[in-house]
Amino acid sequence: MTDSLQGRVALITGASSGIGAATATLLAERGARVALLARRKDRLDELAGRIVDAGGTALGVAVDVTDADALKAAAEQAAAEHGPADLVVNNAGVMLPAPIEELRTDQWQHQIDLNVSAAMHTIGAVVPQLVAAAAAGRPADLVNTSSIAAQNIFPNFAVYAATKAFITHLSRHLRVELGAKDVRVSAIEPGIVGTELQRHVTDEGAQDWLAESKQTVEWLEPEDIAEVIAFTAALPRRVNLQQVTIMPTRQAS
């Protein structure tokens, strides 16, 4: 399956680090042209350069995905330079756990803006491209990054978990709606993955929990999730993995 994505055009949000960067790298290795969307232009340029140096095709577009108009323009730019997307990895997100009684409304809103609103902006910007690709007889995939927090209960993660539950439930509905047009929709639900998300956590209790977890559990790596996304997209057009949960072997829940 090393060249199974040859000719695909992928658009990845949150592409400057973590799961997004790993996925962009792997998709490019397997033949896809990749458009990298995120805020940090320097990181995008560096990643795109590495992909090109390795023989792939990559375009970095710096954009704030919480800005619907800017995101639409970025998707149009990527389509004009690379071709319309037929594989979208809707991946941008942030995790900011804290006890609800602390009333960290700034963090609540930031998670909603990025994990929910920006995800919807991305879908709005790319669905016409995906529907057109499917109508032309090509595979078309919308892959939404969710979390096991969508299904499980973690104290102090209420707002983050709720945003991810939104993504998983949205994906189920979109799969039915867009599946009738041959667009596949998948929700990817990882357990703990070692990314920059943990460095954004400010709550001491959550920091302690993560630190303890790292002593007993070998966390997933971004490349593990990238492999699952690449596998999902490479399946025959008739096959749709609706929801994939990926856990570290030692993580219980």
Active-site residue set: 160
Please choose, from the candidates 243, 233, 161, the residue with its C-alpha nearest in 3D space to the C-alpha of residue 7.
233
Q: Which two tokens stand for residue 6?
A: 């040859």
**Residues 6 or more apart in contact with residue 21 via CB below 8 angstroms:** 15, 36, 43, 47, 222
Residue 90: its H or E element: strand 87-90
Q: Are strands 87-90 and 57-62 parallel, antiparallel or unpaired?
A: unpaired
The count of residues in the chain is: 253
Please choose, from the candidates 120, 118, 138, the residue with its C-alpha nearest in 3D space to the C-alpha of residue 129.
138
Cα–Cα dist 91/15, whole Å: 8
